[in-house]
Amino acid sequence: MQQERLLKVLVIGDLGVGKTSIIKRYVHQVFSQHYRATIGVDFALKVLNWDHKTVVRLQLWDIAGQERYGNMTRVYYREALGALVVFDMTRLATFQAVLKWKQDLDTKVTLSNGKPVPAVLLANKCDQRQLGLCPKLPKLENFSQDHGFVGWFETSAKDDTNIDNAMTCLVKAIMSAE
């Protein structure tokens, strides 16, 4: 018999880093330059045939405009099983905010076994690399290990670079976390 798993995944990071774009690209295969700042929380659902006996229903939670308040309520984090922490490769301040978001996550939710929720770090807008802060970034491999991320990727929602890989990495970590 097939089993179904519903996974709540948070997409967090500063305003404008590309969270909504990453979700739209992953779920609907579209990209728009158009800036959309909705207030509230948005959901998107992606169904994956994970293996021969498991269907994964990935519920992606988008902050949609509340980033400006700095942190999110516990209600938003409740029962999350994974997170993508996103920054914009062209804006240093958004990278500096990554640890604040990771800390917010870790203080507000843990898995039922008490372990931290698996999180993957995304350096988004890598199609803009020439405008980027590559020289100012620490080696992301070390950074991500030092701060407890299960993986990291340079992504582009615009060019569809590594979005699938990042999601697969996160789902793998979630599925093996318990």
Q: Which does 128 bind (CB under 5 to 8 A by kind): Mg ion, ligand GDP, none?
A: ligand GDP
**Residue of 15, 41, 92, 111 that binds ligand GDP (CB under 6 A):** 15
Binding flag, residue 157, ligand GDP (CB under 6 A)? yes
- Fill in the DSSP letter of residue 151: E
**Residue of 10, 20, 25, 120 that binds Mg ion (CB under 5 A):** 20
Whose CA is closest to 118, among 163, 86, 149?
149
Whose CA is closest to 68, among 96, 36, 98, 39?
39
For residue 174, the SS3 value is helix
Give me 68's structure tokens: 């400006």
Q: Which stretch binds Mg ion (CB under 5 A): 17-25, 127-135, 144-152, 157-165?
A: 17-25
Whole-angstrom distance, CA of residue 158 vs CA of residue 125: 7
User: Which spans of this chain sit near Mg ion (rule: CB under 5 A)?
Assistant: 20
User: Which spans of this chain sit near ligand GDP (rule: CB under 6 A)?
Assistant: 15-21, 32-33, 35-36, 124-125, 127-128, 156-158
